[in-house]
């Protein structure tokens, strides 16, 4: 590599490869669903540029197709993305170090990008803020690319879309499994699993999302964030 400034994008590119493989697939699935629902290609691409929230975009296809009002769509989108407030707390101090990049890093913080950031080991000599920025940019690029390919293919070819919405769940499951295998501290995983089980038992499977998030947040308030502190020490060490 010719210089440090050129190393951050290359390192971030290599780091984002797992998300590239997943986002290309589920972005294509989203594009196919939008095309199958009869929406214009530009709308699907615009959504991936200015919304960039996989689960919410998948939900939007169904809501828009059903003619749901804007207020209801906004409320449901907020509820679906409320989980970001739970895990985003652990990155507040980290993002505060880079005020120039912070607005975009917050906007681009998806589940998969969070998984990469919390397991990141930045090589010495690289600007950590730029690495985070480039990684987030690459992740959104893969999502927009997948969306573009999917919506164009769906516009030109009659491709069935039933079951494609599960691809997002599959990607997140794969990332969580990888994180479990790499992590030495399993407390946060057990909190998440326990919160889901309790919420499902008390509120039912169809109503567990918000209760599970609430239970998880309350439990994590009393759980030291050992892993994130270890990562921060490693980055600054």
Q: What's the pLDDT score for residue 227? A: 45
Q: What's the pLDDT score for residue 235? A: 45
CA angle 108/113/118 to nearest 5° reads 125
Of 38, 43, 74, residue with least CA distance to 59:
74
Of 182, 199, 197, 179, residue with least CA distance to 113:
179
Q: What's the pLDDT score for residue 73? A: 77
Q: What's the pLDDT score for residue 159? A: 65
Q: What's the pLDDT score for residue 218? A: 79
The Cβ of residue 5 has, within 10 Å, a number of other Cβ atoms equal to 11
The per-residue pLDDT of the chain, averaged, comes to 80
The Cβ of residue 171 has, within 10 Å, a number of other Cβ atoms equal to 20
Q: What's the pLDDT score for residue 237? A: 40
Q: What's the pLDDT score for residue 45? A: 95
Which segments in the chain show pLDDT lower than 50?
1-5, 227-237
The tens digit of pLDDT for each residue in 142-176 reads 999 999 999 998 888 776 656 655 665 665 666 66
Q: What's the pLDDT score for residue 138? A: 97
Distance of alpha carbon 93 from alpha carbon 107, whole angstroms = 16
């Amino acid at each position: 590599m010719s210089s440090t400034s050129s190393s951050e994008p290359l390192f971030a590119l290599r780091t984002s490869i797992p998300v590239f493989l997943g986002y290309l697939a589920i972005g294509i699935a989203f594009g196919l669903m939008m095309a199958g629902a009869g929406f214009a290609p530009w709308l699907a691409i615009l959504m991936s540029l200015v919304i960039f929230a996989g689960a919410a975009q998948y939900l939007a296809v169904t809501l828009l197709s059903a003619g749901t009002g804007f207020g209801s769509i906004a409320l449901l989108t907020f509820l679906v993305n409320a989980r970001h407030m739970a895990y985003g707390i652990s990155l507040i101090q980290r993002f505060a170090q880079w005020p120039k990049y912070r607005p975009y890093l917050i906007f681009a913080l998806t589940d998969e990008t969070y998984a990469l950031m919390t397991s990141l080991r930045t090589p010495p000599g690289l600007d950590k803020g730029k690495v985070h920025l480039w990684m987030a940019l690459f992740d959104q690029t893969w999502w927009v690319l997948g969306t573009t390919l999917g919506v164009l293919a769906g516009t030109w070819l009659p491709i069935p879309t039933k079951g494609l919405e599960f691809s997002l769940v599959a990607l997140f499951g794969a990332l969580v499994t990888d994180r479990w295998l790499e992590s030495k501290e399993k407390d946060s995983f057990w909190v998440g699993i326990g919160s889901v089980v309790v919420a499902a038992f008390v509120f039912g499977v169809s109503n567990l999302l918000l209760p599970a998030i609430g239970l998880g947040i309350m439990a994590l308030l009393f759980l030291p964030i050992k892993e994130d502190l270890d990562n921060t020490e490693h980055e600054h060490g």
